[in-house]
Amino acid sequence: QWDAARDLYLRCVDVDPCYAPAWARLGRIYHVIAKYLPSGTKDGLQKAESAFRQALDLNPDLPLAHKSYAQLEVDLGRALDAIRRLIPHARGAADSEFFAGLISPLRYCGLLAASVAAHRRAIALEPKIRTSVQHTWFLQRDYAHVAALRVEDHPYIVGLSLAEEGRRTDAIAALKTIEERVKTRMGDFACAARTLIEGDADTSAAAVERIVSSGFGDPEGLYYLARHLSHLDRVDAALQLLERVITGGFFCYPAMMSDPWLEQLRTTSGFAGLSRQVEEKYRAAEKEFAALDGNQNLQIG
């Protein structure tokens, strides 16, 4: 299905190479394929970035391109670049896409309250817009909000949130259904969550290993897996993965310092060095956000 969509957008830009929205949608589908399919490659990410840049060259104010490009930038470790680009566009904007595009970069930089505020601005302009705020809620341990979402859309975080809310049986049944139906990385995420809830540590850790060894490179997703391994008492593997997460540009300091699942790591000497790196990046992002009048632009406070 995604391959067919990519081919359709390739035909669109071939017919009309000056139509910026087609380039933006092509970039998005390249990104999705590279991120979620086992066949995805770094070449796909490069193609996605080229398509987004082409879209913005044609129309520098195209909201769709800005939002989708921001989602790629966070995966490439450039969340702060996305914030720098989007906040000036969001200033006085009447399009929800600019605010929706800020939600992930702000979260990656640890600015969780700002991430939720960006979501609120987005839905105030377009109540039906889909955003990534569910991941912000998850990092805030607002499991009630996440558990209210469809498991099919976000199996890992919704499944674990259901369990945290005391609905273990519902979580296990829903995740098992997804495993049986989906044979991509999403299925492995569902398996990792289900078996963790069931207490099958070895099978859960094996599912995590399949995801990591498949070439999965999403920094936030890898953070979930690092905390997952820590919760399973795989401390060395969790530390190695957390270091990769930080190098990849995910430095959500508030979550890392308060998450109960990372308690095993926070007592190690290795974590102390990593936490200093994360705090330094987080404080720099706070200063940058303030310099951009982020609170004012997102109507915080």
Residue 247 or residue 182, greater confidence: 247
Choosing among 1.10.357.140, 2.40.37.10, 1.25.40.10, 1.10.10.60, the CATH entry for 1-60 is 1.25.40.10
Tell me the whole-structure pTM to 2 decimals. Answer: 0.93
State residue 183's pLDDT score: 82
Residue among 133, 108, 138, 104 at smallest CA distance from 120 = 133
Token pair for 26: 């092509």
Q: What's the CA gap between 151 and 95, in Å, rounded?
A: 29
Residue among 244, 216, 220, 222 at smallest CA distance from 36 = 216
Q: What's the CA gap between 195 and 214, in Å, rounded?
A: 19
Domain with CATH 1.25.40.10 in the chain: 1-60
Q: What's the CA gap between 81 and 104, in Å, rounded?
A: 12
Q: What's the CA gap between 298 and 301, in Å, rounded?
A: 9
How many C-beta atoms surround the C-beta of residue 145 within 10 A?
15
Residue among 223, 271, 224 at smallest CA distance from 251 = 223
Which range (187-191, 199-203, 212-216) has the least confidence? 212-216
pLDDT tens figures, 95-145: 999 999 999 999 999 999 999 999 999 999 999 999 999 999 999 999 999
Give the model's confidence band at 40: pLDDT under 50 very low, under 70 low, under 90 confident, else very high: low
pLDDT tens figures, 147-167: 999 999 999 999 999 999 999
Phi, psi of 4, deg, nearest 5? -65, -40
CATH 1.25.40 fits 143-271, yes or no: yes
Does residue 239 register a pLDDT over 80?
A: yes
Q: Is 245 exposed, middle or buried (0-12, 13-18, 19+ CB in 10 A)?
A: buried
